[in-house]
Amino acid sequence: MNPDTLHLIPLLVFTFVAAGLVKGVTGMGLPTVAMALLTTALPPLAAAALLVVPSFVTNLWQLLAGPSTRAVLRRLWPMMLGIVLGTVGGAAGLARVDPRWSGVGLGLALILYAAYALRAPQLAVPKAAEPWLGPLVGVLTGLITGATGVFVMPAVPYLQALRLSKDDLVQALGLSFTVSTVALAVGLSGHGAFSVGQLGLSVLVILPALAGMWLGQVIRQRISAVWFRRGFLLFLLGLGVELVVRPFW
């Protein structure tokens, strides 16, 4: 760690406690919140590099904690392959595009996700459509992940539309986010986006993220998760709008 990064410590601690808290309450949202907050002070490329390790650790934990890991892998591997291909290919967007405009892409992704989640439409994917729709959703999710660092669209709506059991859905989300994280790390490494300093900071913020998850799990027992989720989505919507309009200020 060098003097140029010391001033980032308060921001990193706050960001990953907040992101972990959201994940602890809702079961998702760590990369989304982290990207949204970090890009208020960092280029999207640097923000994406910092979230790789805590995102991987927390999502792998979520994947392995349930009883149906093998079944989820067998059902969703074509989608995961699509995520890898799309993310590695789309990472050039974060690496090469002017940070102002990659921030706009991130803002649009946040707005799209928040608007969808606030409406919460009841979708269902026919079993016969999974063999072709899963890989397509995977590639689209990967392209958006590679370009913005956000893992949620359209993977989350698709997985919810599969009508999985609660436990299987949690594991499926953990699988999707874990694969997205690894693929993003590979894609960014291919463009020289990782440095020893970034990896060191990424490892250090595991503890704030885990602390936030623990706090979120405590809060989940005491408040309405529905109202918390709604406030969180409105927060993301506001941040998304700010990122979209920022280049025009």
pLDDT at 97: 67
Mean pLDDT over 86-96 rounds to: 79
Say whether pLDDT at 223 is over 80.
Answer: no
Among residues 81, 59, 21, the alpha carbon closest in space to that of 172 is found at: 59
pTM: 0.79
pLDDT at 196: 55
Between 4-13, 52-61, 169-178, the lowest mean confidence (pLDDT) is in 4-13
| Segment 193-215, tens digit of pLDDT | 655 556 677 788 889 998 998 89
Mean pLDDT over 124-151 rounds to: 89
Task: For the chain, give every domain's residue range.
Answer: 3-243
pLDDT at 138: 96
pLDDT at 225: 64
Say whether pLDDT at 139 is over 90.
Answer: yes
